[in-house]
Each structure stands twice: as structure tokens, then as C-alpha cells.
């Protein structure tokens, strides 16, 4: 009789005969160097664009939405923003890791995902700011127009009417809100990380899990709201910035973690490094040999559908490098097969295009 095994915080004993992974798996670490270099480059772009002079739209001196008082002291200054969006998640995720699966690979994936989400959100925000050039709500106070200045009879005013220019460059960077996008990118990633670790979508409806997972979003929302209180942004700027940060955080999260409805959502994806070796390292589920020679894995698969059998694929080709306490990455197949005419609309490879020697995954009800 086959029995399913609970996947809650599965901990596989470490192989004490192996040398430390950081020393033995040098290729594994180096294989993710391009990811780190890219995220660092994106972060450098974010900071380098801060001093670039962008587009400055025309505005009306009679526009009351631009005549708010310039706040010298912000409620959430830049230093506090970086502590909230980066330092807080970066310090909290290792603690969560230690309390749950205790995996160094999870620490790597969470750190890389956090930096990637912040770099993407920050770079996109900066590019948009300098090209859109929307005036901030406090632009008139920044500008300090010449006495007696009025809008042209047929047209709008430009920054030429301003007597104070030291604050003008930042005065035309209202859309979207950088504080909103960055706070939702950093704290949003933390929220998704928490949701995966506590199995928020396990169909059991624990209210505590929902509150815990949504708490980082509440913090990000407070940061975003503070930008309207300081009259640094219009509400549209805050809304779009918040959506941008949330999308980028989820995009970065899904690069290194399974979907939140997966029964292995608490595990990071296995490394993408490929090597020639045996077929060890599958997910920790009960398995046995089927009469056909393939290995049948019984339990609850990663799609969250209990009562299904998974038949492993066997091939002579290199297989994915898998670490302990990781979720196996989905294998869509070679790009030439995906792009070929043999690929059907439902994403299942045409049987006529079947590769000899490969047992395809079979999902069947028990």
C-alpha cells in the first residue's frame, strides 16, 4: 500500500561524506555569476540616472494641484527607504530560513531574487521618470516664479519663469513614485517569500497565514501613502508605482521559487546547472519501481493536486543539478521542440515527436 508523505518543511539529512558545497560546487556558484552581475548593473543604472536631467513638461501657474507646499523634511527619506525596502527583507528572510528549512541555497535564491526585483523596479522607475517629466504637486513652490508671472494667453508656462533652479530637476519626476515602487518591490518579495514558506494557498484557510503574509504589503502601503502626505506625488503616481513594484517582486520571486499554490512552495528551485550523473535528488516523496521500469512517485505533486502518480523521466541526456531541499525546475524541453510545429496549443508535446529512450511524465488519477 502506497502512502503519501507530508511535504511540510521537509528536511533531508545532509550528506556528511561530502565536502562543503561552497567548495565542491564551484561551478554551481559561478553559474549564477551572470545573474548577480546583471542585478548589480541594473542597480548601478538606478543610481546613475538619479542626477540625469530629464524631460520637463509645460505646466499652468494656475493649476492648484501643483501649488502645494514643498516639504523640507520627508516622512520617509531616502535612507529610511533603503532600510525598509532592502535591509529589512535581507535580514528577515535568513531568519525565516533558519526557522523553516535551513538551506543555504534558499538564502542564495532569496537574496538574488530580492536584489533582482529591486533593480528591475528601480531602473524602470528611473527611466520612466526622466522621460515622462510630470510635475510634482509642489512644483510651484519649488519654482518660485517671477513676480507677476502668468500663463501665456495661448499656451502654458515653462521652467523659464522659475527663479529657483536647484530643486527643479527633481520637481519634474513625479510619475511614477519611486518610493512606492521600491517599497513594494522589496517588501512585496518578502510577502511572497513568507506566503510560500507558510503555504498560504494550501486550501485550509488559516487566517493567521494571510495576516502574516500581507503584513509586508501593509508596510509598503504606508510608505506609498506618505508620498501623498508630503505632496511629493499625485495619487496616480503612487498607484502605478505600487503596481510596478508588486509585479517586479512577483516576477523576481517566480524566477527562483515555485508558484505559491505548489505543495513545495517552501522550497527554492533546484540549480539550473546541468551535469552528467545519476537520477538522485528527486523531491522527497515516496516512490517505487513500476512494472514498466520507470519510477513511480506517489504523493502530492508540486501542482497541489493530491492523489496523483508522477512517473519520472529517464534519459541519457544531462539532467538538472539538484540540491537537497529544493524543488525541481520544470523542464519545458529544448527550444527547437517548443517552437516546432509538433507543439500543440495545450503545451503538450505531440506523441509523433516523442524522443526515443525518454519516458514522458504521466499524470493519472489513482
pLDDT at 322: 53
Average pLDDT of 48-57?
A: 89
247 has pLDDT over 80: yes
**Known catalytic membership, residue 266:** no
Residue with more model confidence, 45 or 221: 221
Length of the chain: 366
Q: Does pLDDT of 297 surpass 60?
A: no
The answer to whether residue 135 scores a pLDDT higher than 50 is yes
pLDDT at 295: 38
Half-sphere exposure of 102 (CA within 13 A, CB side): 7
Query: Which stretches of 167-206 are DSSP H helices?
Result: 168-171, 178-197
Spell out the SS3 assignment of 72-126. CCCCCCHHHHHHHHHHHHHHHHHHHHHHCCCCHHHHHHHHHHHHHHHHHHHHHHH
Q: What is the pLDDT of residues 91-122, one digit of tens each?
A: 999 999 999 999 888 999 999 999 999 999 99
Task: Give the mean model confidence (pLDDT) for residues 221-231.
Answer: 97
Confidence of residue 47 (pLDDT cuts 50, 70, 90): confident
pLDDT for the residue numbered 329: 66
What is the chain's mean pLDDT, rounded? 77
Distance between CA atoms of residues 214 and 206, nearest Å: 13
List, in sequence order, every residue forming a beta bridge with 365; answer none if it has no partner.
308
291: alpha, beta or left? (left if phi > 0; alpha if psi -120 to 50): alpha
Region 260-288: mean pLDDT is 63
* Phi-psi domain of 232 (left: phi exceeds 0; alpha: psi -120 through 50; beta: other): alpha
Task: Reply yes or no on whether 234 is catalytic.
Answer: no
> For the chain, first and last CA: distance in Å?
12
Catalytic residue from among 73, 108, 199, 233:
233
Mean pLDDT value across residues 73-96: 96
The share of the chain scoring above pLDDT 90, in percent, equals 51
Residue-by-residue DSSP string for 35-48: HHHHHHHHHHHHHH
Query: In this predicted structure, which of 82-86, 157-161, 172-176, 360-364 has the lowest mean pLDDT?
Result: 360-364
Given the residues 68, 73, 108, 179, select the one marked as catalytic: 179
Assign 341 a pLDDT band (cuts: 50, 70, 90).
very low
pLDDT of residue 42: 85
Q: Can you give the pLDDT at residue 25? A: 65
Amino acid at each position: 500500500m502506497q502512502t503519501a508523505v507530508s511535504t511540510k518543511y521537509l528536511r533531508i539529512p545532509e550528506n556528511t561524506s561530502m565536502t562543503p558545497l561552497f567548495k565542491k560546487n564551484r561551478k554551481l556558484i559561478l553559474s549564477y555569476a551572470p545573474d548577480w552581475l546583471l542585478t548589480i548593473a541594473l542597480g548601478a543604472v538606478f543610481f546613475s540616472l538619479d542626477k540625469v536631467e530629464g524631460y520637463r513638461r509645460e505646466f499652468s501657474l494656475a493649476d492648484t494641484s501643483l501649488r502645494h507646499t514643498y516639504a523640507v523634511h520627508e516622512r520617509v527619506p531616502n535612507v529610511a527607504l533603503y532600510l525598509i525596502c532592502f535591509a529589512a527583507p535581507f535580514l528577515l528572510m535568513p531568519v525565516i530560513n533558519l526557522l523553516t528549512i535551513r538551506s543555504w541555497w534558499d538564502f542564495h535564491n532569496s537574496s538574488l531574487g530580492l536584489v533582482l526585483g529591486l533593480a528591475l523596479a528601480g531602473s524602470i522607475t528611473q527611466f520612466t521618470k526622466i522621460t515622462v517629466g510630470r510635475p510634482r504637486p509642489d512644483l510651484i513652490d519649488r519654482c518660485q516664479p517671477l513676480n507677476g508671472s502668468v500663463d501665456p494667453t495661448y499656451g502654458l508656462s515653462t521652467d523659464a519663469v522659475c527663479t529657483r533652479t536647484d530643486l527643479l530637476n527633481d520637481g519634474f519626476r513625479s510619475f511614477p513614485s519611486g518610493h512606492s515602487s521600491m517599497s513594494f518591490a522589496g517588501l512585496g518579495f518578502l510577502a511572497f517569500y513568507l506566503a510560500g514558506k507558510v503555504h498560504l494557498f494550501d486550501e485550509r484557510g488559516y487566517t493567521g497565514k494571510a495576516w502574516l503574509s500581507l503584513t509586508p504589503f501593509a508596510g509598503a502601503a504606508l510608505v506609498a501613502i506618505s508620498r501623498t502626505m508630503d505632496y511629493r506625488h499625485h495619487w496616480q503616481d503612487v498607484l502605478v508605482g505600487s503596481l510596478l513594484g508588486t509585479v517586479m517582486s512577483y516576477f523576481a520571486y517566480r524566477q527562483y521559487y515555485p508558484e505559491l499554490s505548489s505543495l513545495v512552495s517552501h522550497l527554492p528551485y533546484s540549480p539550473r546547472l546541468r551535469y552528467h550523473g545519476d537520477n538522485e535528488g528527486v523531491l522527497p516523496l515516496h516512490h517505487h519501481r513500476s512494472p514498466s521500469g520507470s519510477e513511480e512517485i506517489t504523493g502530492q505533486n508540486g501542482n497541489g493536486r493530491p492523489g496523483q502518480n508522477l512517473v519520472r523521466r529517464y534519459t541519457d541526456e544531462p539532467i538538472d543539478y539538484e540540491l537537497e531541499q529544493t524543488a525541481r525546475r520544470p523542464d519545458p524541453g529544448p527550444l527547437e521542440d517548443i517552437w516546432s510545429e509538433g507543439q500543440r496549443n495545450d503545451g503538450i508535446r505531440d506523441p509523433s515527436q516523442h524522443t526515443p529512450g525518454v519516458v514522458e511524465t504521466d499524470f493519472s488519477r489513482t
